Homo-oligomer: A and B are copies of this chain.
């Protein structure tokens, strides 16, 4: 079964928002065995939406549409769908009850524009929106299914998880797609490829291998297609094992998890704890860890010491060290990481201090200069990096560098 996703909204086409909905939906659909052929973002323009619907219907069996269902004048998806299907608009009782309920809950008067949200094309089945006023819509037309949902992420997510995917599963026997991802750290794409060339050449046609590089990490993803979950899984796992064995020194995780999650899993299993002292990464490393459920078992917290004063008062970095060597130096980062270990009483610590830019470069320390240290009670490692001039990239690369160093230290100390 092939799907397409159409996201509607000028805000995507002018780059004001990043379309995160599509990636999430694609993930859910793949897990359910539905292959996404194409994702298209189109403007709030009737003719353009009509064309996109027709093109998608040529390629896919089921078309998911998000966006353009709000109460305001720029939201034209619903009327355009009615035109596409040649259907009348009717008021839907359940949808109206839902709108009324939400406005009562928040003690707001029900405006005419909100009441209009309960109008839907008569050929649709309404999908209840527990978290908002715009109803979702399910259409069945000429052997194709069309599902229209709001663009607000948590409204769409609820509908997909609770209503749409279960409904699809109840209606169709879906084929199996199995993905297996291996996270590698510290080796480039082309070298990995060279190392596993013979394994890659031996893959059967229904198993594909993809390389997904990102800032010092490369994900190797095997995708197997078939009818029987057990057989496809077994085949995919067989090739995955061969690859893992071949490049084992670079493998950080044997599943599709971010590096920090692989570290959390490893540390949770061994009941190890972590704290941080972040300067130029400004909370980003902490955020990477704490976005994951269960991180509080490992992650104690730490300091974001943007100023000299906080480096001294929270981390105990010596005033002389800061003035003699500067905030961005091996001496400071070492005192930061050891201060974190001591003050926050964790088994491991990370410290980062650098010049994220775009301003703030110093003689001998250009923008992009970053010192990173990781430590346990037994060992401290500090390393200097020279990144580029882009702030966001310097923050991300510093985080990846820190995670990669911690990963190495963990494997080194704990083995």
Contact = CB atoms under 8 A, between A and B. Distances in A.
Interface in A152-198: 152-154, 157, 179, 181, 188-191, 193-194
Contacts of A306: 290, 295-296, 299-301
A40 B38 contact: yes
B48 A37 contact: yes
A361 interface: no
A252 B200 CA distance: 54
A362 interface: no
Contacts of A194: 111, 113
Contacts of A28: 15
Contacts of A278: 283, 286
Contacts of A294: 359
A98 to B, nearest CB: 15
Interface in A196-238: 200, 208-214, 219, 221, 223
Q: Which of A284, A300, A306: most chain B CB closer than 10 A?
A: A306
A344 interface: yes
A287 to B, nearest CB: 4
Nearest to A298: B306
A301 B307 contact: yes
Nearest to A388: B154
A358 interface: yes
A253 interface: no
Contact of A154 (B189, B289, B304, B393): B393
B287 A283 contact: yes
A81 to B, nearest CB: 18
A70 B14 contact: no
Given A14-B223, A299-B306, A211 B286 contact: no
B10 A39 contact: no
B23 A18 contact: yes
Interface string A100-134: 00000000100101100000000000000001000
Contacts of A113: 190, 193-194
B301 A286 contact: no
B391 A291 contact: yes
A223 B52 CA distance: 23
Nearest to A114: B190
A369 to B, nearest CB: 15
A310 B344 contact: yes
Contact of A39 (B13, B191, B284, B300): B13
Interface of A: 9-20, 22-30, 35-44, 48, 52, 55, 70-74, 108, 111, 113-114, 131, 152-154, 157, 179, 181, 188-191, 193-194, 200, 208-214, 219, 221, 223, 256, 275-276, 278-279, 281-287, 289-291, 293-296, 299-307, 309-310, 313-314, 343-345, 356-360, 388, 390-393, 395
25 contacts: A10-B210, A13-B26, A13-B37, A18-B20, A37-B48, A38-B42, A38-B48, A40-B41, A72-B189, A73-B209, A152-B213, A154-B393, A157-B390, A282-B291, A282-B301, A284-B287, A286-B304, A290-B306, A293-B358, A301-B304, A301-B305, A302-B303, A302-B310, A303-B314, A304-B304
- Minimum-distance CB pairs A-B, first 10: A282-B290, A283-B286, A15-B27, A15-B26, A283-B283, A301-B306, A301-B304, A39-B41, A283-B287, A18-B23
